Amino acid sequence: MKNIKKIMLLKFYFLASVSMLLFSACSNDEGGSSSSGKLAVTGISKSVIDDPLVEGDRQVDVPTDVINAGNTYIIRGSGFATLQSISFNGLESSFNPTLVTDNVIVISVDQDTPYFNEMDELKIVTKIGTLKYTVKVRPPSPTISGFPINPNPGDIITIKGEYFLRPIVNFGTTAVEPISSTLTEITVKVPADILYKKLSVTNVSGTTVAGQTFGSAIYDDAYTSLRSYDGLWDATNPYDTAYDKDPKQGSKSISWKAGQWNGLYIGIDNSKFDISKYKGIRISLKGQNSGSVGVFINGNDKIKPVINFSSDWTYVEILFNTLDSPTELTQITFQEFGGKEGGNTIFIDDLGLILK
Protein backbone atom coordinates (compact mmCIF):
# COMPACT_ATOMS: atom_id res chain seq x y z
CA MET A 1 0.00 0.00 0.00
CA LYS A 2 1.11 3.53 -0.57
CA ASN A 3 2.56 5.38 2.37
CA ILE A 4 2.06 8.90 3.66
CA LYS A 5 5.29 10.16 2.07
CA LYS A 6 4.02 9.15 -1.37
CA ILE A 7 0.69 10.86 -0.77
CA MET A 8 2.43 14.07 0.35
CA LEU A 9 4.70 13.89 -2.73
CA LEU A 10 1.63 13.48 -4.91
CA LYS A 11 0.11 16.62 -3.38
CA PHE A 12 3.38 18.50 -3.93
CA TYR A 13 3.48 17.53 -7.60
CA PHE A 14 -0.15 18.55 -8.05
CA LEU A 15 0.29 21.95 -6.39
CA ALA A 16 3.40 22.56 -8.44
CA SER A 17 1.57 21.69 -11.65
CA VAL A 18 -1.38 23.94 -10.70
CA SER A 19 1.02 26.83 -10.00
CA MET A 20 2.63 26.42 -13.42
CA LEU A 21 -0.81 26.11 -15.03
CA LEU A 22 -2.09 29.33 -13.45
CA PHE A 23 1.14 31.20 -14.22
CA SER A 24 0.79 30.23 -17.86
CA ALA A 25 -2.89 31.16 -17.90
CA CYS A 26 -2.21 34.57 -16.34
CA SER A 27 0.49 35.23 -18.94
CA ASN A 28 -2.01 34.53 -21.69
CA ASP A 29 -4.92 36.61 -20.35
CA GLU A 30 -3.14 39.91 -19.64
CA GLY A 31 -2.74 39.25 -15.93
CA GLY A 32 -6.02 37.48 -15.36
CA SER A 33 -7.73 40.62 -14.02
CA SER A 34 -10.07 41.22 -16.96
CA SER A 35 -12.43 38.99 -18.88
CA SER A 36 -12.14 38.00 -22.53
CA GLY A 37 -15.87 38.74 -22.86
CA LYS A 38 -16.81 35.22 -23.93
CA LEU A 39 -17.97 32.79 -21.26
CA ALA A 40 -17.27 29.20 -22.32
CA VAL A 41 -16.10 25.82 -21.03
CA THR A 42 -13.78 23.94 -23.37
CA GLY A 43 -12.77 21.04 -21.13
CA ILE A 44 -12.57 19.56 -17.63
CA SER A 45 -9.70 17.57 -16.13
CA LYS A 46 -9.40 15.66 -12.88
CA SER A 47 -6.43 17.04 -10.95
CA VAL A 48 -5.09 13.64 -9.89
CA ILE A 49 -6.01 10.06 -10.73
CA ASP A 50 -4.31 7.61 -8.39
CA ASP A 51 -5.69 4.17 -7.50
CA PRO A 52 -4.42 3.39 -3.95
CA LEU A 53 -4.34 -0.33 -4.82
CA VAL A 54 -2.01 0.14 -7.80
CA GLU A 55 1.58 1.34 -7.47
CA GLY A 56 2.95 3.77 -10.03
CA ASP A 57 -0.33 4.69 -11.72
CA ARG A 58 -0.51 8.35 -10.65
CA GLN A 59 -1.63 10.76 -13.38
CA VAL A 60 -2.10 14.53 -13.12
CA ASP A 61 -4.50 16.76 -15.09
CA VAL A 62 -6.47 13.96 -16.80
CA PRO A 63 -9.36 14.97 -19.11
CA THR A 64 -12.74 13.66 -17.95
CA ASP A 65 -16.47 13.95 -18.59
CA VAL A 66 -17.41 12.89 -15.04
CA ILE A 67 -17.34 14.97 -11.85
CA ASN A 68 -17.01 13.02 -8.60
CA ALA A 69 -18.02 15.03 -5.53
CA GLY A 70 -15.22 15.59 -3.04
CA ASN A 71 -12.50 15.71 -5.71
CA THR A 72 -10.51 18.54 -7.31
CA TYR A 73 -10.93 19.52 -10.97
CA ILE A 74 -9.41 21.91 -13.49
CA ILE A 75 -12.01 23.67 -15.67
CA ARG A 76 -10.69 25.31 -18.84
CA GLY A 77 -12.38 27.85 -21.05
CA SER A 78 -12.75 31.62 -21.08
CA GLY A 79 -14.53 34.47 -19.34
CA PHE A 80 -13.79 33.23 -15.79
CA ALA A 81 -11.90 36.28 -14.48
CA THR A 82 -14.93 37.79 -12.71
CA LEU A 83 -16.18 34.48 -11.27
CA GLN A 84 -18.85 35.00 -8.60
CA SER A 85 -20.07 31.45 -7.96
CA ILE A 86 -19.73 27.91 -9.25
CA SER A 87 -22.20 25.12 -8.52
CA PHE A 88 -22.77 21.48 -9.39
CA ASN A 89 -26.34 20.16 -9.48
CA GLY A 90 -27.49 23.29 -7.68
CA LEU A 91 -25.01 23.20 -4.76
CA GLU A 92 -22.30 25.85 -4.68
CA SER A 93 -18.69 24.81 -4.16
CA SER A 94 -16.40 27.31 -2.46
CA PHE A 95 -13.57 28.53 -4.67
CA ASN A 96 -10.22 30.17 -3.99
CA PRO A 97 -9.91 33.35 -6.11
CA THR A 98 -6.14 32.82 -6.35
CA LEU A 99 -6.88 29.59 -8.26
CA VAL A 100 -9.00 31.35 -10.88
CA THR A 101 -7.84 33.10 -14.05
CA ASP A 102 -9.80 34.10 -17.15
CA ASN A 103 -9.05 30.70 -18.69
CA VAL A 104 -8.78 28.32 -15.72
CA ILE A 105 -10.75 27.44 -12.58
CA VAL A 106 -9.27 24.98 -10.08
CA ILE A 107 -12.11 23.83 -7.85
CA SER A 108 -12.64 21.25 -5.09
CA VAL A 109 -16.19 20.01 -5.58
CA ASP A 110 -18.22 20.01 -2.37
CA GLN A 111 -18.44 16.56 -0.75
CA ASP A 112 -22.21 16.97 -0.31
CA THR A 113 -22.97 17.71 -3.96
CA PRO A 114 -26.19 15.86 -4.91
CA TYR A 115 -25.76 13.16 -7.53
CA PHE A 116 -28.85 10.90 -7.57
CA ASN A 117 -31.52 11.67 -10.20
CA GLU A 118 -30.10 15.16 -10.69
CA MET A 119 -29.67 17.36 -13.77
CA ASP A 120 -25.91 16.73 -14.25
CA GLU A 121 -25.21 20.44 -14.46
CA LEU A 122 -22.25 22.73 -13.88
CA LYS A 123 -23.28 26.36 -13.44
CA ILE A 124 -20.77 29.22 -13.61
CA VAL A 125 -21.86 32.76 -12.67
CA THR A 126 -19.62 35.72 -13.54
CA LYS A 127 -20.11 39.47 -13.90
CA ILE A 128 -20.44 39.02 -17.66
CA GLY A 129 -23.08 36.33 -17.53
CA THR A 130 -24.13 32.80 -16.52
CA LEU A 131 -23.15 29.53 -18.18
CA LYS A 132 -24.82 26.15 -17.70
CA TYR A 133 -22.72 23.19 -18.84
CA THR A 134 -23.80 19.55 -18.91
CA VAL A 135 -21.41 17.14 -17.17
CA LYS A 136 -22.09 13.88 -15.33
CA VAL A 137 -21.98 14.35 -11.54
CA ARG A 138 -21.34 11.24 -9.47
CA PRO A 139 -20.80 10.44 -5.74
CA PRO A 140 -17.48 10.77 -3.92
CA SER A 141 -15.20 7.82 -3.36
CA PRO A 142 -16.39 5.78 -0.37
CA THR A 143 -15.54 6.67 3.22
CA ILE A 144 -14.91 4.02 5.89
CA SER A 145 -15.89 5.09 9.41
CA GLY A 146 -15.81 1.77 11.24
CA PHE A 147 -15.26 -1.97 10.97
CA PRO A 148 -14.00 -4.75 13.28
CA ILE A 149 -10.20 -4.52 12.98
CA ASN A 150 -9.41 -7.87 14.61
CA PRO A 151 -12.04 -10.25 13.17
CA ASN A 152 -11.66 -13.99 12.80
CA PRO A 153 -11.93 -15.79 9.45
CA GLY A 154 -15.56 -16.78 8.93
CA ASP A 155 -16.97 -13.91 11.01
CA ILE A 156 -19.84 -11.91 9.53
CA ILE A 157 -18.89 -8.25 9.96
CA THR A 158 -20.42 -4.87 9.13
CA ILE A 159 -18.41 -2.12 7.45
CA LYS A 160 -19.79 1.37 8.10
CA GLY A 161 -19.22 4.49 6.06
CA GLU A 162 -20.76 6.42 3.21
CA TYR A 163 -21.26 6.28 -0.55
CA PHE A 164 -21.29 2.48 -0.81
CA LEU A 165 -22.82 2.55 -4.29
CA ARG A 166 -22.33 -0.87 -5.96
CA PRO A 167 -19.43 -1.62 -3.58
CA ILE A 168 -16.53 -3.99 -4.18
CA VAL A 169 -14.82 -5.16 -0.96
CA ASN A 170 -11.24 -6.42 -0.74
CA PHE A 171 -9.33 -7.92 2.20
CA GLY A 172 -5.85 -7.25 0.92
CA THR A 173 -6.06 -8.57 -2.65
CA THR A 174 -8.91 -11.00 -1.85
CA ALA A 175 -12.23 -9.78 -3.24
CA VAL A 176 -15.31 -10.67 -1.16
CA GLU A 177 -18.88 -10.52 -2.40
CA PRO A 178 -21.07 -8.48 -0.01
CA ILE A 179 -23.86 -10.39 1.70
CA SER A 180 -25.87 -7.18 1.76
CA SER A 181 -25.19 -3.46 1.33
CA THR A 182 -26.76 -0.03 1.65
CA LEU A 183 -25.23 3.37 1.00
CA THR A 184 -23.85 3.38 4.58
CA GLU A 185 -23.31 -0.30 5.55
CA ILE A 186 -21.84 -3.42 3.97
CA THR A 187 -22.14 -6.90 5.48
CA VAL A 188 -19.46 -9.41 4.44
CA LYS A 189 -17.96 -12.74 5.53
CA VAL A 190 -14.30 -12.50 6.55
CA PRO A 191 -12.03 -14.68 4.38
CA ALA A 192 -9.00 -16.64 5.55
CA ASP A 193 -5.46 -15.23 5.73
CA ILE A 194 -6.18 -11.58 6.57
CA LEU A 195 -3.43 -10.82 9.14
CA TYR A 196 -1.26 -7.82 8.16
CA LYS A 197 -3.65 -6.93 5.30
CA LYS A 198 -5.93 -3.93 4.80
CA LEU A 199 -9.59 -3.45 3.99
CA SER A 200 -10.56 -1.52 0.87
CA VAL A 201 -13.92 -0.52 -0.57
CA THR A 202 -14.44 0.55 -4.17
CA ASN A 203 -17.56 2.27 -5.49
CA VAL A 204 -18.44 3.69 -8.92
CA SER A 205 -16.13 6.66 -8.27
CA GLY A 206 -13.00 5.24 -6.69
CA THR A 207 -11.31 3.20 -3.97
CA THR A 208 -10.67 3.93 -0.29
CA VAL A 209 -8.22 1.90 1.79
CA ALA A 210 -8.69 1.76 5.56
CA GLY A 211 -5.73 3.01 7.55
CA GLN A 212 -5.75 0.09 9.98
CA THR A 213 -4.26 -3.35 9.32
CA PHE A 214 -6.27 -6.43 10.25
CA GLY A 215 -5.17 -7.84 13.60
CA SER A 216 -3.47 -4.60 14.71
CA ALA A 217 -6.07 -3.20 17.17
CA ILE A 218 -5.42 -2.99 20.91
CA TYR A 219 -8.65 -1.06 21.47
CA ASP A 220 -11.51 -1.21 18.94
CA ASP A 221 -14.89 -0.51 20.60
CA ALA A 222 -13.46 -2.67 23.41
CA TYR A 223 -10.05 -3.98 24.34
CA THR A 224 -8.98 -6.82 22.05
CA SER A 225 -7.04 -9.96 22.90
CA LEU A 226 -3.76 -8.03 22.42
CA ARG A 227 -4.45 -6.36 25.78
CA SER A 228 -3.66 -8.48 28.84
CA TYR A 229 -4.59 -6.04 31.64
CA ASP A 230 -5.32 -2.36 32.23
CA GLY A 231 -5.62 0.01 35.15
CA LEU A 232 -5.18 3.50 36.61
CA TRP A 233 -2.58 5.06 38.86
CA ASP A 234 -5.48 6.62 40.75
CA ALA A 235 -8.45 4.25 40.84
CA THR A 236 -10.79 7.10 41.79
CA ASN A 237 -10.52 8.57 38.27
CA PRO A 238 -13.75 7.78 36.35
CA TYR A 239 -12.83 5.38 33.52
CA ASP A 240 -15.28 4.13 30.86
CA THR A 241 -14.06 1.74 28.15
CA ALA A 242 -17.41 1.76 26.31
CA TYR A 243 -18.13 5.48 25.93
CA ASP A 244 -20.65 5.70 23.08
CA LYS A 245 -20.68 9.40 22.12
CA ASP A 246 -18.70 10.70 19.12
CA PRO A 247 -16.21 7.85 18.56
CA LYS A 248 -13.37 8.22 16.07
CA GLN A 249 -13.52 4.62 14.78
CA GLY A 250 -16.43 2.23 15.20
CA SER A 251 -19.09 2.96 17.82
CA LYS A 252 -17.25 3.39 21.16
CA SER A 253 -14.17 4.95 22.68
CA ILE A 254 -12.41 5.21 26.07
CA SER A 255 -13.37 8.12 28.34
CA TRP A 256 -10.89 8.80 31.14
CA LYS A 257 -11.38 11.65 33.64
CA ALA A 258 -7.69 12.02 34.38
CA GLY A 259 -6.51 13.86 37.44
CA GLN A 260 -3.50 16.14 37.09
CA TRP A 261 -0.39 14.05 36.25
CA ASN A 262 -2.33 10.78 36.70
CA GLY A 263 -1.79 7.73 34.51
CA LEU A 264 -3.60 4.99 32.58
CA TYR A 265 -1.68 1.80 31.75
CA ILE A 266 -2.47 -1.04 29.35
CA GLY A 267 -0.66 -4.35 29.47
CA ILE A 268 0.09 -5.89 26.06
CA ASP A 269 0.24 -9.62 25.27
CA ASN A 270 3.21 -9.48 22.91
CA SER A 271 2.99 -13.24 22.28
CA LYS A 272 0.00 -12.58 20.00
CA PHE A 273 1.80 -10.50 17.37
CA ASP A 274 5.17 -10.14 15.70
CA ILE A 275 6.55 -6.72 16.66
CA SER A 276 9.05 -6.90 13.78
CA LYS A 277 6.11 -6.43 11.41
CA TYR A 278 5.21 -3.08 12.97
CA LYS A 279 6.90 0.31 13.10
CA GLY A 280 4.97 1.98 15.89
CA ILE A 281 1.75 2.72 17.75
CA ARG A 282 -1.25 4.64 16.43
CA ILE A 283 -3.80 6.42 18.58
CA SER A 284 -6.58 8.98 18.25
CA LEU A 285 -7.01 11.45 21.13
CA LYS A 286 -9.17 14.38 22.11
CA GLY A 287 -10.02 16.13 25.35
CA GLN A 288 -12.86 17.91 27.01
CA ASN A 289 -10.31 20.71 26.93
CA SER A 290 -7.12 21.06 24.90
CA GLY A 291 -4.29 19.29 26.67
CA SER A 292 -1.46 16.81 26.37
CA VAL A 293 -0.36 13.37 27.48
CA GLY A 294 3.01 11.78 27.92
CA VAL A 295 3.32 8.29 26.44
CA PHE A 296 5.84 5.67 27.44
CA ILE A 297 6.16 1.92 26.97
CA ASN A 298 7.27 -1.10 28.97
CA GLY A 299 7.38 0.93 32.18
CA ASN A 300 10.31 3.03 30.96
CA ASP A 301 9.29 6.62 31.72
CA LYS A 302 12.72 8.01 30.76
CA ILE A 303 11.58 8.13 27.13
CA LYS A 304 8.24 9.92 27.14
CA PRO A 305 7.03 11.70 23.98
CA VAL A 306 4.42 14.37 24.70
CA ILE A 307 1.29 14.46 22.52
CA ASN A 308 -0.81 17.62 22.28
CA PHE A 309 -4.49 17.41 21.42
CA SER A 310 -7.57 19.61 21.20
CA SER A 311 -11.29 19.08 21.66
CA ASP A 312 -11.37 17.51 18.18
CA TRP A 313 -9.93 14.09 17.39
CA THR A 314 -6.17 14.14 16.78
CA TYR A 315 -4.56 11.14 15.05
CA VAL A 316 -1.00 10.42 16.19
CA GLU A 317 1.66 7.89 15.24
CA ILE A 318 4.41 7.11 17.76
CA LEU A 319 7.25 5.31 16.02
CA PHE A 320 9.24 2.67 17.83
CA ASN A 321 12.52 4.25 16.74
CA THR A 322 11.59 7.23 18.94
CA LEU A 323 11.05 4.82 21.86
CA ASP A 324 14.51 3.22 21.83
CA SER A 325 13.48 0.59 19.24
CA PRO A 326 12.03 -2.06 21.58
CA THR A 327 12.18 -5.75 20.67
CA GLU A 328 8.91 -6.37 22.52
CA LEU A 329 5.89 -4.37 23.63
CA THR A 330 4.53 -5.28 27.06
CA GLN A 331 2.86 -2.09 28.30
CA ILE A 332 1.66 1.31 27.08
CA THR A 333 1.16 4.10 29.64
CA PHE A 334 -0.54 7.46 29.18
CA GLN A 335 0.12 10.23 31.71
CA GLU A 336 -1.97 13.40 31.89
CA PHE A 337 0.50 16.15 31.05
CA GLY A 338 -1.67 19.24 30.73
CA GLY A 339 -0.42 20.54 34.05
CA LYS A 340 -3.76 22.10 34.93
CA GLU A 341 -5.25 21.64 38.36
CA GLY A 342 -8.19 19.28 38.07
CA GLY A 343 -6.73 17.44 35.09
CA ASN A 344 -8.81 16.78 31.99
CA THR A 345 -11.28 14.32 30.52
CA ILE A 346 -9.33 12.49 27.82
CA PHE A 347 -10.89 10.36 25.07
CA ILE A 348 -8.90 7.54 23.44
CA ASP A 349 -9.84 5.54 20.35
CA ASP A 350 -8.37 3.38 17.59
CA LEU A 351 -5.35 2.35 19.67
CA GLY A 352 -3.24 -0.13 17.78
CA LEU A 353 -0.09 -0.93 15.83
CA ILE A 354 1.18 0.47 12.51
CA LEU A 355 2.43 -1.94 9.88
CA LYS A 356 5.87 -1.24 8.40
What is the predicted pLDDT for the residue at 295? Answer: 97
pLDDT tens-place string over residues 261-295: 999 999 999 999 999 999 999 999 999 999 999 99
Q: Which of 47-61, 140-154, 166-180 shows the lowest mean pLDDT across its residues?
A: 47-61
What is the predicted pLDDT for the residue at 162? Answer: 95
β-strand partners of 178: none
Is residue 55 predicted with pLDDT exceeding 80? no
For the entire predicted model, the pTM comes to 0.79
Q: Region 223-246: what's the mean pLDDT?
A: 97
Q: Region 86-112: what's the mean pLDDT?
A: 96
Q: Region 298-318: what's the mean pLDDT?
A: 96
